[in-house]
Amino acid sequence: MLEAGICGHETVAVTPENTARAMGSGTLEVFATPALAALAEKTCWESVAPALEPGTGTVGTELSLEHTAPTPVGMHVTCDSELIAVEGRKLTFTVTMRDEKGPVGSGMHQRFVIDEGKFFSKAQSKLG
């Protein structure tokens, strides 16, 4: 059952593949903001997945993220999420991210519960 208070926790290694230079969001070999955003989304969707009905999933609809400190290759970034509101199909999360030396980001994320079959069909219909 989806209810406020569900928490998530994910950690990712900072590698050359998820740096700003590799992802095209900058020139430095530090954890990229797009990688931070992906980590936030993954942490949130995985935290609620076990509570969903079969055939349903969630999709991200809004992300407000502050990336406050760099993390070099070789370190790890951890994201903790908390589902703070359930309004019908709309889920609202807070996220906080840190590396081994301290905070590196925070934000809010919204997801919507969807019927996966209907959602995929709608997307495919765009192809004609």
Residues forming the active site: 33, 41, 67
Half-sphere exposure of residue 9: CA atoms within 13 angstroms, side-chain side? 0
Contact assessment for residue 69 and residue 108, using Cβ atoms and an 8 Å cutoff: no
CB 6 within 8 A of CB 21: no
Residue 118's φ and ψ, nearest 5 degrees, are -65, -40
Measured between its terminal Cα atoms, the distance across the chain in Å is 37
With left for phi above 0 and alpha for psi between -120 and 50, is residue 101 left, alpha or beta?
Answer: alpha
